[in-house]
Structure 1
Amino acid sequence: MGEARPLRIIHCFRSPIGGIFRHVRDLAEAQARAGHQVGIVCDSSTGGAYEDQLFDDLKPHLALGLVRLPIRRSIGPSDISAFWASFKEIKSLQPDVLHGHGAKGGVLARLIGSLLRVNRYRVARLYSPHGGSLHYDSRRLSGRAIFFLERLQEYLTDALVFVCDYERQVYTAKIGKPRVRAERIYNGINDREFEKIFARPDAVDFLFIGMLRDLKGPDVFIDAFARTERAVGRPLSAMIVGDGPDRDRYDHMMVSLGLGRRIDLLAAMRSRDAFQFARFVVVPSRAEAMPYIVLEAAAADKPVIASRVGGIPEILGADNIGLVPAGDPAALAAAMVAALGEPGWTDRARPDPVALRTNFSVTTMADQMTALYRSCLGTLRRPEA
């Protein structure tokens, strides 16, 4: 049998910020290096200079190009024009695979893929939630409506891809047992990221890095930092790195607590650049799927203190001493105090490096994903001549 032909793959997602963007960049680059033709469709209204530089780095790997259109977070009339513009762009690229990431990306990939299928076009439609709509509360009407729409879209889906076992469990609990093919494929990082990063001599004690919104818990971090200072009885230092809609509110919170001089607030930067400026990485999220920041920190051998949410225990180990309840600044502060003062804490908090590298390699992720694409395509009937 001859070698399988390269695939034409388009990744659709909304916001080029945070974990989804990192996931798509890694996947697109790995697939391009494997000989596939890859393109991206995403929002044009989010992101800044940092994200523009990331796109510039990625463009040489995007044979099918980069299409950026206004795609709002909330559902509204503008979605119609965004959908139509996306449809025309994607149709012209003649993809074999449409892979939607996050709720809006999933809608674009599956609806557009289904329209192409109506026109007897052979295209596989895949969806990775990446948390997204799964963060909604099933006790609220808005949450139940979102979950109903997710369930309906299964009829337009060839495969669901979960980034961790936890995400699959939440999907089953909130939406229902998948009625289509569903696979768990862990996020992966590059080999070069499995290199230890040492803290500089002038490093701060604690680092928060991520999107500045309540879901990620910057407010919990600030509160816990103040409690930690009181518990140890001396001034400490910290750094918050990131951008987001609530940046000014967190800045005001630090000032009101008298922490403005001891917590630096910096714009988004590459995580490995930020790691050198701190001794410990803190991830106080209220909800997560499979956060890259935890993978990156663990691979860089940075001690991690994190909320016990999402797939984080699958990375660090279910019994890791660095895990704390989400949204609990007192528990987070207790772990931060222990990290500073308990002999051997760092060694006991370190995950198994062999398991980490085996389970969370970008090569493994890309190989498993491409195999799933080909399997989905193999189940489709070719259009008649």
Structure 2
Amino acid sequence: MPDNRPLRIIHCFRSPIGGIFRHVRDLAEAHARAGHEVGILCDSTTGGAHEDALFDEIRPHLALGLVRLPIHRSVGLGDLTAFWRSYKEIRSLKPDVLHGHGAKGGAVARIIGSVLRANRYRVARLYSPHGGSLHYDRGTLTGRAVFSMERLQERATDQIVFVCDFERRTYEAKVGRPRVSSALVYNGIDDGEFSRVHARAGAVDFLYIGMLRDLKGPDLFIDAFARTERAVGRPLSAMMIGDGPQKQEYEQMMLERGLGRRIGMLPAMRTRDAFSFANTVVVPSRGESMPYIVLEALAAEKPLIASAVGGIPEVLGAASPALARPCDAASLAEIMTRSINEPAWLRAAMPEPQGFRARFCASTMAASMLGLYERLADRPEERVRPVAPFREIARS
């Protein structure tokens, strides 16, 4: 900044679960270590003991503190209270940068940032969709309403930051070409995570780790596991690790198929701890942007099978034999079966480690994002641009 003082950065998002939370924690820690002041504003009604422990870890890096208040998933009258409380908290912290993540976080950052700007307070307003609202179908009434709101909020946006090219293309197809400056900054993994996690004694064959909701495909995982058992002609083993609103549905699905004893379930835990439970990680999602679980598994040198959705083909390669057809349990099962019958095949199909690390390391992600923050904070006259060209950042 002109006076060399540290940037005051606040990240706004709704649910402190999953990839967005991981993304924000990594940015917050990296930028705090670089001497900047960082804060977080998010929902207080989601998350559990695992997330509380993660907050405790990041808290020493939050010079601007942690603000948690009720921010509901659906749009409702409660949003008015949430926005008012958020406005008072953010105004008191005098940020230079407001970075909204996901639909609700993006709305909080951009609307409140615009109110501050109307009161002649200089603040940069950034938005990262992280998939979020982009998962809606443009052909539905809800989808059209959501995308219209996305378009409208561009007027309150200084920079849209996509985490993968798929997300950028989806935004252009459903919302339209951004009318403000946009950039691509890939998600990144901390240098300390680029080391193999060995399977423990008695490890299961396959691991699902993530939110227990249909979007992430736990039901596809269970179906594919049953098909794989039939294909190889013997019992196999699996583990599902995570929490979510449909947990009981999946437990019932396993019981009905007689899989209760061969698929275990554990609550959410650190991904590297979870990786030790299994030989192969399966990501059966119906929809993604750039999922951290894929990056984390590859950094831990775990063989990975995934649906070809979102930015996953950008990581594994579009022609990777480890990619299954989206929403297709039979396709997943074919790859899972081959991984059992040819144990060395799947590991050989994984990306080359050096190239993967150069492209998806957290230091590159944090430096690229900080460059955007500093540019927007230093040069407010450039914050809003009419149909600025797309910029790609952090490609190797």
* Unpaired runs of at least 5, structure 2: 383-396
**DSSP 3-state at the match of 2:142:** helix
Matched to 1:181, the amino acid is S
Residue 19 of structure 2: aligned partner: 19
Alignment of 1:338-353 (within 5 A): 338-342=338-342, 344-353=344-353
Matched to 2:145, the amino acid is A
Question: 2: CA distance between counterparts of 1:370 and 1:5?
Answer: 14
Deviations 1:63-108 (A, max 9, x none): 0000000000000000000000000000000000000000000000
Deviations 1:264-293 (A, max 9, x none): 011000010010110000000000000000
Residue 71 of structure 1: aligned partner: 71
Residue 47 of structure 1: aligned partner: 47
- Offset of residue 342 of structure 1: 2.2
Matched to 1:295, the amino acid is L
- Offset of residue 381 of structure 1: 4.8
Question: 1: CA distance between counterparts of 2:211 and 2:182?
Answer: 29
Residue 318 of structure 1: aligned partner: 318
The answer to whether the aligner puts 1:330 opposite 2:330 as a matched pair is: yes
CA contact (8 A) 2:40 2:67 kept: yes
Question: 1: CA distance between counterparts of 2:252 and 2:82?
Answer: 36
* Structure of greater relative contact order (alpha carbons < 8 Å, 6+ residues apart): 2
Runs of 4+ in structure 1 off by over 3 angstroms are 1-4
CA contact (8 A) 1:165 1:184 kept: yes
Provide the identity percentage. Answer: 66
Matched to 2:302, the amino acid is K
Question: 2: CA distance between counterparts of 1:343 and 1:132?
Answer: 36
Deviations 1:221-261 (A, max 9, x none): 00000000000000000000000000000000001000000
Matched to 1:222, the amino acid is I
Matched to 2:91, the amino acid is K
Matched to 1:74, the amino acid is S
Query: How much is the aligned-residue C-alpha RMSD, in angstroms?
Result: 1.3
Question: 2: CA distance between counterparts of 1:188 and 1:3?
Answer: 30
Matched to 2:308, the amino acid is R
More displaced stretch, 168-177 vs 317-326: 317-326
- Offset of residue 4 of structure 1: 3.7
CA contact (8 A) 1:283 1:294 kept: yes
CA contact (8 A) 2:187 2:360 kept: yes
Alignment of 1:38-187 (within 5 A): 38-187=38-187
CA contact (8 A) 1:194 1:299 kept: yes
Tell me the TM-score normalized by structure 1: 0.98
More displaced stretch, 286-295 vs 351-360: 351-360
Matched to 2:131, the amino acid is G
CA contact (8 A) 1:304 1:349 kept: no
Q: How many residues align?
A: 382
Residue 394 of structure 2: aligned partner: none
Question: 1: CA distance between counterparts of 2:333 and 2:178?
Answer: 39
Tell me the TM-score normalized by structure 2: 0.95
The answer to whether the aligner puts 1:215 opposite 2:215 as a matched pair is: yes
CA contact (8 A) 2:2 2:378 kept: no
Deviations 1:348-379 (A, max 9, x none): 32111111111111111111001001111233
Matched to 1:62, the amino acid is L
Residue 295 of structure 2: aligned partner: 295
